[in-house]
Amino acid sequence: MELKEIYLFARIEKEHFFYRARRELVKYWLKLLFPDPGKKPVVIDAGAGSGILLKEIEQVCSSVIGCDLFFDPKISKEYSRIVKANATTLPFPDNFSDATIALDLLEHLENDLLGLKELKRITQPGGYIILNVPAFWFLFSDWDQAVGHRRRYNRKQLKALTEDTDLEIVFIRYVNSLPFLPIFLYRQLRSGLGLGKGERLEDKLPPLWLNQLLLKAFIAQGKRGSVSLPFGVSLFAILEKPEN
């Protein structure tokens, strides 16, 4: 990933529906999985980026630490709690965290199976891994390439990867389904006809009304009891490390 992509991401992540929805779902699931306020979890955010999530979840955690291979102190909001690290060799002991977060991380790794095994290693038995990954290979675009994506997943592929690590699926859903068709058409036109070359919609904030609509729809899909649709721009999952 080029450094300029990190700055583009950091510029919009606070308000953009996509990044906000992921953070809101993390907060929702942490409260659901760890309801006892007297037993706050130790949380690792692998692929923490600028660290904005660390600040937002610190009140519900006993300790929260971030790590990222592309960590840049100049744009990090929580640089004192982020370490530079590769996701396949995380600098934490076995069974360290109660919950490990990996939002749009696995698709960057050359060996995603090794990466998921590493997330499992640092998570204690009975603990959880919170995942978000991009969905469907036919949505792969110049934006994916620019930010370092090696793949996009369908539900079957993510479930197979989970089974290979002996993790148990608590929840899995396609999310961000509302803009699925517009994004597909936009990326087809962009790649086939060169539409909008030189600038990308992914780097811009949608109009306020649309941003709020997409935010609410994304969050609703990632909650327990939500309707499972067969399509979405992303896949969101909660995995549990077995006690044994």
pLDDT in tens, 9-53: 788 999 999 999 999 999 999 999 999 989 999 999 999 988 899
Share of the chain above pLDDT 70, in %: 93
CATH number of the domain where residue 23 is located: 3.40.50.150
pLDDT of residue 76: 63
Residue 69's nearest CA partner among 128, 9, 148 is 148
pLDDT at 186 over 80: yes
pLDDT at 4 over 80: no
* pLDDT tens readout for residues 54-111: 999 999 999 999 999 877 666 666 667 888 899 999 999 999 999 999 999 999 999 9
Q: What is the mean pLDDT of residues 144-152?
A: 94
Has residue 211 got a pLDDT over 90?
A: yes
Angle between helix 208-221 and helix 17-33 axes, rounded to 10 deg: 30
Check if the beta carbon of residue 100 is closer than 8 Å to that of residue 46: yes
- Name beta bridge partners: 38: none
Please give the pLDDT value at position 199.
76
How big is the chain by its Cα radius of gyration, in Å?
17
pLDDT in the model for residue 95: 98
Alpha-carbon 70 to chain mean position: 15
pLDDT averaged over every residue in the chain: 92
- Asked if the model's pLDDT at residue 194 lies above 80, the reply is no
What is the model's pLDDT at position 70? 79
Tell whether the model's pLDDT for residue 152 goes beyond 90: yes
Rounded to 5, what percent of the chain is helix, strand, coil? 40, 20, 40
Predicted pLDDT at 195: 64
* Residue span of the structural domain in which 227 resides: 3-240
H or E element at residue 82: strand 82-83
Residue 221: is its pLDDT beyond 90? yes
pLDDT (average), residues 177-189: 94
pLDDT at 177: 98
Calculate the alpha carbon distances from 150 to 40, 109, 165 in Å.
Answer: 35, 7, 20
Number of domains in the chain: 1
Specify the pLDDT at position 81. 85
